[in-house]
Each structure stands twice: as structure tokens, then as C-alpha cells.
Structure 1
Amino acid sequence: MSDYLSVTALTKYIKYKFDQDPHLQSVLLKGELSNFKKHSSGHLYFNLKDNNSVVNAMMFKAQASKLDFSPKEGDEVLIEARVSVYERRGNYQIYVNKMHLDGVGNLYQRLEALKKDLTKQGLFNMEHKKPIPKFPKKIAVLTASTGAAIRDIHSTINSRFPLVEQIQISTLVQGEQAKKDIVEKLEYADTLGADVIILGRGGGSIEDLWNFNEEEVVRAIFNTKTPVISAVGHETDFTLSDFVADVRAATPTQAAVIATPDQVELSQYIKQMELNLSRHIVQLINNKKKHLEHVASYYKFKQPSLLYDQQIQRRDDLERQLNISMNNQLTSLRQRLDLLNNRINIRDLQQLAQQSKTYKTQLDDAMNKAIQNILHNAKSNLAQRLESLNNLSPTNTMLRGYTIVNKDDQVITSTQALKTNDNISLTMKDGEVDAIVKKVRCNKDEQ
């Protein structure tokens, strides 16, 4: 029995062999992450696999904190690790010291690093975003001269707002020369006086869209004075051009929609405005009519004498004030003259006083004449107005022998409104008479 080993002893021996083998202390592996889990302790547990094999792996918190990306299920990675045995299960596994994204993953790393740097510089801040004009006159479209993107943009603009001028600028959107060409075409489009620039292309892989992540292109968009709409790729694709542009469109078609108003919606809006304007005018007229009716019902218009009673009294008050003022002024002048007579030798001023008296008399006469003329004109004007009001007054009309016929509180102006035995009321100049109609005779011409 002494020749038999325990499982623990065998596992320890194998682990010892692994740990002593220099070729297993640092191995470089390439594979895909699966069953990825991050423990609450900060350690990472996952499997590394390729098409044919799988190996258990873990990464301690100290090494995981140094990663320049966030690992997730399905990532293709490059790993530097140590191979050993986990004694409790008897499985061999790798302990990862370093890990980097492989292939496309490196592009994502570059993208995130550049995005972080440009964000710190403020290139993506909302305060730099320019508004898109509501009714553009000219749109510059930067994309490949062939392909679905240019066709979608062109057809969408024509269907929504055919009045706008389209400037199509053929631009390289893929390849080594695309970055430089995009920058040059943006600078050129910015000099054309366009209201908005659409920069776009169809979908593709991250490699295909990479030119729109280049820092030179991002800065060219940022420096453009004309508002820019970025329409790169499909709805799920994001590039740095989308972040720096004034507006990001999910697709080239959506970019055309954002850049233009819809002619159908504009037509409906105009019709709605016409209806609102008509409704407002009708309402305004009705309000004015009500105001006119309210003014016409004012009690002073029903009793015209109220309009001039106050004016007559005011004229009398002014006349009285004028006489008082003139008397006060004359009294003051006499007092001044008496004072001068006491201070100055009357003999020397006798002739001057006589002249002043004569001049004063002339002034008095002229003033009295002027006052009389004013009063006469005012009285004549008042008499004319009173006569006009009296001529229009129903009472004056009745003084000439006319009578107002009322039936059921309504004024009767035609024999057509009366019939035999109707009770009527006759209003005369000095009272009213209640009467009964005995017979109605209508003129034949009125029938």
C-alpha cells in the first residue's frame, strides 16, 4: 500500500513541475475571452479559448487595475501569463500578468484614448454647437460620388425641400488618402457660403470608418464655421466626427431630414396660420361691434342736453373768473398809480398820467370789445348747437303736432302693424293717451 500516492501528493508534484519549468513562467497567448466574471474582490476569472481548446484563467486585482481597457465577453486579447495548477481541482490554469486587446481591439483603444484627450480639450462641448438653419438656401454634401449615401441624401432633399440648392462635393471616404481629402473638402465647402454641410458615408467596419476618427478630421470639423451634420455609417456606428459635429444623424437619409424642412408640413402650417388669422379677424370685428354697441348705449347719447349742460356752466364760470381777474388787475394798477403819485411830483407827471389814462381807456375799450366778441361768438355757437339738438329732439317734433304711436312697448311706424281693437298708446308733447283702434286704413301704394 505504501507504493500508492494520494491525489493531493500527485497534484502537488505536478504543480511543482509546472512551477519549476522556465518555459511556463511567461507564455504569450492569443485567444477569445469567455465566461468572463469580475469578483467583488476585484480579481478577474475567465476562460481563454480558440477554435479547438479552452483554458481556465484568472487575473489578480493588482494586475487588473493596470488594464487600459474594460474586458468583456468575446474580446480578442493578447495575454502574458504564468502556467500553474490549481490544487483544489487538479486543473491547470494560467495566471495573467498583462492583457491587451488584439487587432480591432487596438483600434478601440486608440479611439477611446483620442476621445478622452479631445473631450478634455473641450472639442465636444455643447457650447460650441451651431444651430442648423430652419430654411436653408444652400446645402453642401460631402460624400462619395457613387453609392447609396449620395442617392439617399439627394432623393430625400428633393422630396422634402426642392427649393434648396445642393452642392455635391465628391469626397474620398475610405483608404489612405481619405483623411487628407476629407479635410481639404471640408475647408473648401466652408468657403462656399452654404447654410449647412452634410458629411457622410454608408456603413462599414471600424476599419472602414476609421478616417472619421482621425484627429485631423475631427479638428477640421470643429474649425468649420458652417454648421456640420455628421452622417457616418449606420445607426449603431459612432465616430469622433459624430461627437464634434453640430448634429449627429444616424444615417445619411436622416441627415437630409435634419437639414431640410418638409414641404408638406410647411403647407399645412401655412393653411393653419390662414385659419388662425381669419378666426382672429372675425373675433376682432365682433369685439369692435360689441364696443360700438356699448358706446351707442351710453346714457348721454340718449339725453343730448347732458353733453352741453356742463359746458354752459363752465363757460359762465370762466366768464366770471375773467371779470374778477380783470377787476383785480385794474385795482392793482390803480394802487400802483396812487403809490407813484405819492412818491413823484404830480405836476411833472400830470401830462404823462393823462396819456397813461387815455391809453388805459383805450386798452379797456379794446379788451371789453374783445371780451364781448368772444362772448357773442360763444353764445352764437351755443345757440346754433342748441337749435340743432332741438331740431333732432323727438320732443320738438311732437311740438309741431306729431304723435308717437306705441303698441306693446314698440314704436309703430306702419299701419301694417295694427289691426282693429288693438290697444295703443299715443305720446304727445304734453302727455300720453291710451286708445283702441277702431279701424285700420292702409294706403294702396303701401300694400
Structure 2
Amino acid sequence: MADYLSVSALTKYIKYKFDQDPHLQSVLIKGELSNFKKHSSGHMYFNVKDKNSVINAMMFKGAASNLDFEPKEGDEVLIEARVSVYERRGNYQIYVNKMQIDGIGNLYQKLEALKKKLTQSGYFNQEHKKTIPKFPKKIAVLTAGTGAAIRDIHSTINSRYPLVEQVQINTLVQGEQSKQDIIEKLQYADTLDVDTIIIGRGGGSIEDLWNFNEEEVIKAIFNCEKPVISAVGHETDFTLSDFVADVRAATPTQAAVIATPDQQELYQQIAQVKLFLTRNINQYIQQQRKQLEHTSSYYKFKTPSLLYDQQIQKRDDLEKQLNASITMLINRSQQRLQLLDSKFNLKKFKLDIERYQKVTSQKQQELVKILKNSISLRQQNLANKLENLNTLSPTNTMLRGYTIVNKEQQVVTSTKNLSENDNIVLTMKDGTVDAKVQKVRCEDDK
């Protein structure tokens, strides 16, 4: 029995070996986070996995506080950790000291952040989507000049709708210079007389397709006045260009299908319309023929005079009524004219006018005579009054040697109104004299 080890002893020994191995003290691991949980204590528990294996992992609160991102399920991460054994369960796990988002993981995180930002700004709203013309005359194709994408688009358009003109605009779809080139080519295509713009490329990794996630490219597509079809990558690939474009195509071939009608379907539609029109025209002709036959069998058409005999008689009756009405109107007018002529005798009217003119002339002469007499009488009356006024005028009185005496701007009419030493003003015919009263003699004093 002494040769048997307990489970705890074996676990301790294995843990000791792990802890003593310098290669396990600091290992660099790349993987995906799964089953992620953050404990209330601040410690983090999760698994790190790839396609074939899973490792249990934990990160203490102190190390977790130094992270510059918030880990979540599905993140691709780069980890620096120590490998050890958890004695209680007897399985090995890693204790993470440092962790950062993998390069591709960073792109996904950046993609989600930009998608959220543009969504909130309304760039992806359905109200901004333009309708793809059903029968385009010209289509601009923005993609690499060589490759499967351009061949697929051209061959599909040529087989479906060869009437449309294709404008090939060679565009860089990968690399450092491609972002600016895509923007410039989009702006150029929007100035052309095209009905639809197709922009796309073949599939690739997220790094290869990243130029179609750039904010400047998204805004360039949004600002296009022409409708844009995005055909970037394969069916499973999604870029922000797909969300902002007016229509998203899963592949470049599907973009060509969306942009053009199928000539075979058009031929079928034309044939169906032709058949429909032919059938309806024939039915209409048959209906009209039956109606014509029915109308032609009507008895009045067999005896055409029945159609106009009564109308001729009716016209004659109306003509008689019209002539009678006109004759009656003329007679009434003549009677009224005779009546007026009898009332207005022109000779008598002329004599009356001459008589009234003579009377008016006499009255006028009488009126003139009366006015002259009245004026003469009034002139004589006015002369008499002027003579009286002249006689009573103070000026004439002063001309005869009289003087007007004023005291305190009041005319003095009695000696009783004066006292010795009063200042008085004497108004004469040619001026005034200031004087002082020396003595007042009243007739009552005699």
C-alpha cells in the first residue's frame, strides 16, 4: 500500500513539475475567448480555444485592471500567461498576465464601432436608398481591370442585356492607395451619364476588404447621386459599403443580375404581351362585328328614309314657327314706332322750343335790368355811408384842430377823469405829445 500515491500527492507533484519548468512560466498564446465570465471579485474566468483545442484560463483582478479594452465572448486575443495545475480539479490551466486584442480582432472591433457610429448618423437608413433603373442605358463598373470580378460582371451583362453600354473604370481595390482611388473613381463615375454604378471585387480576408469599411469610402458612396450596387467579396463577406449602398449584391455576378434585366425573360414577356394583345384585339373585333351585324339588322337601317322623314317635317314646322315669331315681332315694333311718332309731333315740338326760347330771352333781359338797378342802388347807398363815416372820422375831427387825450392807454372823455400831475398822451393829426396836467378846470366849478 505504501507504493500507491494519493490523488492529491500526484496532483501536487505534477503541479510542482509545471511550476519548475521555465518554458511554462511565460508562454505566448493566440486564440479566441469563449465561456467568458467576470466574477464580482474582479477576477476573470474564461477559455482560450482554437479549431482543435481548449484551455481553461483565469486572470486575476490586478492584471485585469491593466487591460485597455473590455474582453468579451469571441474576441481574438494575444495572451502572455503562466501554465500551472489547479489542484482542486486536477487539470492544468493558464494564469494570464497580459492580454491584447489580436490584429484581426482589432479590425472587427473597429468595424463594429464605425458601423454603430454610421448607423446612428443615418447613413444606412432605408429612406436614403435609390431605386435601380429597370432598363439602364449605361452602367459604370468600378473594379480591378483584371481578375474574376470584372470578367463575371461583363459576361453576365453581355448575356443578359447586351443593349446596355458598360463603362469600365479601373479601380484599385486593395492596398494603401486603394482607399483614395476608390473615392476618386466613385466621384468621377457620378459625373458620367450613367444609370447605375457597380463597385466591387472578389473575396478575401477582412484586411483585404478593409478599404470598403473606411469611413471616407462609405461617405463617398452615400453622396453619389447615381444608384450604387455594392458587390464586395463573396456571399458570406459583409462590408460597410454593402450597408450604405442602395443595393447589396452577394457577388459581382449577382450585381450584374441586379443591374440588368434578362433578355430571355424580356423576350418571354414580349411574347406573352403579344399573345395577350392579339387575343384581346381578336375578341374586340368579334364583339364589334356582332354589334355591327345587330345594328345593321335594325328595321330603320333597312328603310333609311325612316331616319330623316320626321326630321324633315319637324324642321319645316320649326321654320314656320320661326317665321311667325319674326313677323309678330316686326309688327309689334312698327306699332310701337307709330305710337311714339304720334306722341312726339316734331313740328309742334319745334314751335314749343321757339316759344320757350323767346320767353327765356325776355326773362333774361328783365333779370339783367333788375340786377343793374339793384347794383346802382347799392352803390349809391355805399357812397352815402362812406360820406357819413368820413364825417364822423376822428382823423377829420383832428384836422379841424381837435386832439384825443389818452391816460394810461384809455381815452379821456371828461375832465373828471383827470387830476393834477397826471401824465397824459395827446394824439394829433400828425403825431403824439407826452404832457402833464398842471390844473384841471371843470365847467361845474364856474
> Quick check: 1:67–1:99 contact (8 Å CA) kept in 2?
no
Equivalent position amino acid for 1:159 in 2: S
| 1:155 paired residue number | 155
2:60 is the alignment partner of 1:71: no
| 1:102 paired residue number | 102
| 2:180 paired residue number | 180
Equivalent position amino acid for 2:73 in 1: P
Superposed, 1:121-200 pairs within 5 Å as 121-200=121-200
| 2:280 paired residue number | 280
**Greater shift after overlay, 127-136 or 211-220?**
127-136
> Quick check: 2:141–2:167 contact (8 Å CA) kept in 1?
yes
| 1:445 paired residue number | none
The Cα offsets for residues 224-275 of structure 1, whole Å up to 9 and x where unpaired, read as: 2232211110001000111111211101111111122222222222222322
The Cα offsets for residues 138-187 of structure 1, whole Å up to 9 and x where unpaired, read as: 22222222221122112212222223332322222112222122122222
> Quick check: 2:79–2:98 contact (8 Å CA) kept in 1?
yes
Superposed, 1:221-300 pairs within 5 Å as 221-300=221-300
Deviation, 1:59, is: 11
> Quick check: 1:32–1:48 contact (8 Å CA) kept in 2?
yes
In 2: Cα distance, 1:317 partner to 1:91 partner: 125
2:321 is the alignment partner of 1:333: no
| 1:32 paired residue number | 32
What secondary structure does 1:190 align onto?
A: helix
Deviation, 1:44, is: 9.0
Report the CA distance shift for 1:310/1:229 in structure 2 as closer, same or farther (over 3 A). same
Deviation, 1:192, is: 3.2
What secondary structure does 2:310 align onto?
A: helix
In 1: Cα distance, 2:342 partner to 2:80 partner: 133
In 1: Cα distance, 2:202 partner to 2:31 partner: 31
Deviation, 1:331, is: 3.7
The Cα offsets for residues 48-79 of structure 1, whole Å up to 9 and x where unpaired, read as: 4578772255999xx9xx9868524xx42368
> Quick check: 1:161–1:260 contact (8 Å CA) kept in 2?
yes
- Paired residues, what number? 317
| 1:314 paired residue number | 314
Report the CA distance shift for 1:71/1:303 in structure 2 as closer, same or farther (over 3 A). same
The Cα offsets for residues 285-317 of structure 1, whole Å up to 9 and x where unpaired, read as: 222212322322334324545323432442343
In 2: Cα distance, 1:323 partner to 1:155 partner: 87
Gaps of 5+ in 2: 1-6, 8-26, 350-446
> Quick check: 2:85–2:93 contact (8 Å CA) kept in 1?
yes
**Greater shift after overlay, 180-189 or 301-310?**
301-310
Equivalent position amino acid for 1:208 in 2: D
What secondary structure does 1:225 align onto?
A: coil
In 1: Cα distance, 2:141 partner to 2:338 partner: 103
Report the CA distance shift for 1:97/1:115 in structure 2 as closer, same or farther (over 3 A). farther
In 2: Cα distance, 1:240 partner to 1:129 partner: 15
Report the CA distance shift for 1:253/1:341 in structure 2 as closer, same or farther (over 3 A). closer
> Quick check: 1:143–1:199 contact (8 Å CA) kept in 2?
yes
**Greater shift after overlay, 218-227 or 246-255?**
218-227
In 2: Cα distance, 1:197 partner to 1:69 partner: 40
Report the CA distance shift for 1:340/1:289 in structure 2 as closer, same or farther (over 3 A). same
What secondary structure does 2:184 align onto?
A: helix
In 2: Cα distance, 1:292 partner to 1:106 partner: 83
In 1: Cα distance, 2:112 partner to 2:199 partner: 22
In 2: Cα distance, 1:53 partner to 1:156 partner: 46
In 2: Cα distance, 1:126 partner to 1:98 partner: 43
> Quick check: 2:59–2:97 contact (8 Å CA) kept in 1?
no
The Cα offsets for residues 70-126 of structure 1, whole Å up to 9 and x where unpaired, read as: 524xx4236899x99999979998999998743322111100111111122222222
> Quick check: 2:55–2:93 contact (8 Å CA) kept in 1?
no
| 1:428 paired residue number | none
TM value normalised by structure 1: 0.59
> Quick check: 1:48–1:57 contact (8 Å CA) kept in 2?
no
Superposed, 1:376-391 pairs within 5 Å as none
Equivalent position amino acid for 1:71 in 2: E
Deviation, 1:345, is: 4.1
CA RMSD of aligned residues (A): 4.3
> Quick check: 1:111–1:213 contact (8 Å CA) kept in 2?
yes
> Quick check: 1:80–1:98 contact (8 Å CA) kept in 2?
yes
> Quick check: 1:56–1:92 contact (8 Å CA) kept in 2?
no
> Quick check: 2:137–2:165 contact (8 Å CA) kept in 1?
yes
Deviation, 1:45, is: 6.6
The share of aligned pairs that are identical, in percent, is: 73
Gaps of 5+ in 1: 1-6, 8-26, 350-447
Superposed, 1:364-403 pairs within 5 Å as none
